[in-house]
Amino acid sequence: MFKVIGTDTYLFELKKFSKQEQDEASKIPKELAQNPFIGKPLNYKFLREKKIGGKRIYFLVYEDLSLVLLVATSTKKNQQATIEHLKTNLPEFKRIAEKIFRQVL
C-alpha cells in the first residue's frame, strides 16, 4: 500500500474547487493508496493526472518510497503551464518526497 500526501500547494488549490469537486477529490487518496497508477500518465509513468469535472489533479508516484505526492490542480485553460511547471521542478518534488518519507519512518 502506498502512502498518499498532499503538498501545501495542492491543499491550497483544492480549496478553490466546488463542494462537489472537493467531495470527489477526497476519495482520490484512498484510490491512489490501493492503485497509484490510476489516471493518465503525462510524459512519464510517474507523473499523472486525474480529472474531476473540468479540473485536473496532478500527482507523482514514487515507487521506491511507496509514496504518492499530490502536487497541483489546474483547469483545462492552464493545464499545459501546470504540467510544464511540474516537469521543470521534478528534482524539488523528489526532495520533498524523500523528506516526507524520512519523517514517516
pLDDT above 90 covers a percentage of the chain that reads 90
Query: Helices (H) and strands (E) in the chain — how many of each?
Result: 5, 5
Looking at residue 53, what is its pLDDT? 86
Q: With 80 as the cut, is the pLDDT of residue 98 above it?
A: yes
Predicted TM-score (pTM) of the model is 0.94
User: Residue 79 — very low, low, confident or very high, per pLDDT cuts 50/70/90?
Assistant: very high
Tens of pLDDT, residue by residue over 21-70, are 999 999 999 999 999 999 999 989 999 999 998 899 999 999 999 999 99
Q: Which fold has domain 3-104?
A: YaeB-like fold (3.30.2310)
User: Residue 91 — very low, low, confident or very high, per pLDDT cuts 50/70/90?
Assistant: very high
In whole angstroms, give the CA distance from residue 74 to residue 95: 23
Identify the CA nearest to 4 among candidates 87, 92, 65, 74: 65
